[in-house]
Amino acid sequence: MTAKNDPSAHALFQDALLDETGKLGIVRARFEGFDKSSFDELIVGYSSLKVLTYSSSASIINRAAEEMERLEIVFGRPDILGDMASYLYFQELLVKELIDATRGKDFIKEKIESGAIKLYVVQDIISHEKLFLLEGEAGTRVITGSANFSERAFSGAQNESYVCFDDDPAAWEHFNGAYERIRDRSTTSIIERAQIDGEFDAANIPALSPARQNSKSPKVILVQDGPPDLSTVHKAVRFRPPKRYGGISSAIETKGGVAKIDRQVAQRAVRYVKSNSRTQEENPEEYLSVHPDSGLVVLSGNELDLNVTAEAVETDVHAWLEYFSGYQLFKGLHEKLARDYFMFWSWFYAGPFVCDLRNSALARGEDVWDYPVFGLLYGKSNCGKSELVRTLLLSMFGKEGFPPNDWFTKGQVPVLMEQNRRYPLVFDDMDKTRFGQHGAALIKDDHVRMREYPPVVLSMNAGQDTFDSEIRKRALIVYTGASLPDHTGEARKLGRRVKQIKANLGTALYKEYLKRMLPRLRQEIE
């Protein structure tokens, strides 16, 4: 149902998208010329930037925040599937991206507190428009067209249109007026310091802002349509929202596509989402985020100190040498097993950077098969696959643990990848049926549209040459033919030895690895 035919639809929806006769708004313009500019050249000489965008990237927000005295961004609301769960999840992802964008950037936080930076999200209407309004000593400049406010859109690496009006009073009046109408009548602020200074909280979802003190009650209109397949946020929301949003309609009632959220409704919704979030006992929602430009590494909200002592690194190295010497006790080709496991270890340590390498390759129009997202460990049931992955996780993050295998589905894995960001996603002892139903389709997706996503590990018991060529050329595959010693006493002795090694194993080696990898990564993706 469209807003025009729905008497309950919000008036602003009609004002912004349809006039009384349902005609389209057309801007009449003349072609004066064509030239080429970089993003920096487009904004030089201006001190104020106002943006209406459908999607964005953290890096370009940081650049604009540094160059501009005043920055204001309105994030247009995508028409995502027309249900409240997807809408709330979209806003969660947006807030999390802003938390990442401002982490470690004190100058941005100072501008936020002073009011020099303001961010909003559209709540009432569907907005795909892209608009950039610049003011300063150079005069006024309006830029409109197809480009979103993202690094890639303004890099020249993809085909975009940019229409520019310089010092044109009529154009400025029209586009600035359109921007201000949307900002003033249909948005919710998402830039309070408390919302970005620390961990995400369900109470910080803009649509649920009435749950906070001194907040106005927004009214959200949800209309089905079909957004373009673009950004990280919108790609993720195409899949099923996390379980914490399942059944949210019991907390927020929607009638005729409209949900009215007052303080009581918002507080009830916040309690509902929090009560359905993953728990520490069931499956901790760990995530890893890396900021190559600043060298900042964040593990589940805590910045990692990468400065470790040489002695601590040496202790970890000796622990690993002892761990790998244990493979000499295995039956079969134990030397090959050790070499293959070392190869897997090398990929696993580099796994959090695979997303950067793949995204950079895609931007250059190159193949991504040299940077596999999926690692498959398979072979006999007692060849140490699971223990290796647990020990690797322990050496990286000081903890181990796997999500349940029933979460491994074509719909759920992309959501988990978004939640984990770069934190490895591991499914242990995967059965062949589940892999056949979901694994092949996931592995063959060469275009994961997220800025940050993790390596995915599947360990399973299977015979050699189990996988077809389409999977083999896309995944790192390690077959393990060796196995634990048959003698029970020897196997138990080896188990006690591994337990002692893990007790002495720290995270210093991986922190040193991260410290050395970050500058190399910057060189690789530039």
The H or E element spanning position 290 is strand 288-291
Do residues 217 and 188 touch, judged by C-beta distance below 8 A?
Answer: no
Sheet holding 374-379, edge to edge: 425-427, 456-461, 374-379, 476-480
CATH code, domain with 235 = 3.30.870.10
Residues 416 and 515 in one domain: yes
Interatomic CA distance for residues 181 and 186, integer angstroms:
8
Task: Quote the longest CA-to-CA distance of the chain.
Answer: 87
Structural domain ending residue among the three candidates 245, 275, 305: 275
Eight-state DSSP code of residue 461: E
Query: What pLDDT does residue 113 have?
Result: 78
Query: What pLDDT does residue 438 have?
Result: 92
At 491, the pLDDT band (50, 70, 90 cuts) reads confident
For 110, the domain range is 37-275
Interatomic CA distance for residues 500 and 331, integer angstroms:
22
User: Do β-strands 374-379 and 456-461 pair in parallel, antiparallel, or remain unpaired?
Assistant: parallel
**Does a structural domain hold residue 316?**
yes
Judged against a pLDDT cut of 70, whether residue 19 lies above it is answered with no
**Does a structural domain hold residue 25?**
no
Average pLDDT over every residue of 308-314: 96
Average pLDDT over every residue of 423-443: 91
User: Do β-strands 117-122 and 131-136 pair in parallel, antiparallel, or remain unpaired?
Assistant: unpaired
Comparing CA positions, the residue from 86, 78, 72 lying closest to residue 125 is: 78
Structural domain ending residue among the three candidates 249, 275, 301: 275
**Does a structural domain hold residue 280?**
no
Residue that the structure tokens 């390690």 belong to = 478
**Does a structural domain hold residue 483?**
yes
Query: What pLDDT does residue 227 have?
Result: 36
Residues 252 and 323 in one domain: no
**Does a structural domain hold residue 234?**
yes
Judged against a pLDDT cut of 90, whether residue 339 lies above it is answered with yes
Integer angstrom CA distances of residue 181 from 13, 177, 186, 210: 11, 6, 8, 22
Query: What pLDDT does residue 371 have?
Result: 94
Q: pLDDT per residue over 45-64, tens digit each?
A: 999 999 888 766 666 777 88
Comparing CA positions, the residue from 179, 207, 209 lying closest to residue 192 is: 209
Comparing CA positions, the residue from 328, 260, 271, 291 lying closest to residue 123 is: 260
Interatomic CA distance for residues 440 and 470, integer angstroms:
9
Query: What pLDDT does residue 388 have?
Result: 93
Judged against a pLDDT cut of 60, whether residue 385 lies above it is answered with yes
Residues 259 and 126 in one domain: yes
470: number of CA atoms within 13 Å, CB side? Answer: 8
Comparing CA positions, the residue from 367, 347, 369, 363 lying closest to residue 454 is: 347
**Does a structural domain hold residue 393?**
yes
Residues 328 and 435 in one domain: yes
Residues 63 and 212 in one domain: yes
Residues 244 and 143 in one domain: yes
Question: Residue 105's CB: how many other CB atoms inside 10 A?
Answer: 20
Q: Which residues contact 395 (CB under 8 A, 6 or more apart)?
A: 316, 320, 505, 506, 507, 509, 510
User: Which residue type is seen at 109?
Assistant: K
Rounded to two decimals, what is the model's pTM?
Answer: 0.57
Residues 172 and 228 in one domain: yes
Eight-state DSSP code of residue 211: G
Most confident of 18-22, 57-61, 256-260, 364-368: 364-368
Strand partners, 56: 149
Residues 303 and 430 in one domain: yes
Residue that the structure tokens 């209109």 belong to = 221
Average pLDDT over every residue of 449-477: 88
**Does a structural domain hold residue 282?**
no
What mean pLDDT, rounded, does the chain reach? 79
Residues 204 and 331 in one domain: no
Residues 159 and 293 in one domain: no
Integer angstrom CA distances of residue 205 from 218, 230, 246: 12, 22, 16
Do residues 283 and 403 touch, judged by C-beta distance below 8 A?
Answer: yes
Domain count, the chain: 2
Residues 105 and 244 in one domain: yes
Tell me the CA end-to-end span of the chain in Å, nearest whole number.
47
User: Which residue type is seen at 82?
Assistant: G
Residues 316 and 238 in one domain: no
Query: What pLDDT does residue 410 have?
Result: 87
Secondary structure of residue 322 in the 3-state scheme: helix
Structural domain ending residue among the three candidates 254, 275, 296: 275
Q: pLDDT per residue over 136-175, tens digit each?
A: 999 999 998 876 676 666 766 666 778 999 999 999 999 9
Eight-state DSSP code of residue 207: G
**Does a structural domain hold residue 27?**
no
The phi-psi region of residue 257 (left if phi > 0; otherwise alpha if psi is between -120 and 50; otherwise beta) is left
CATH code, domain with 430 = 3.40.50
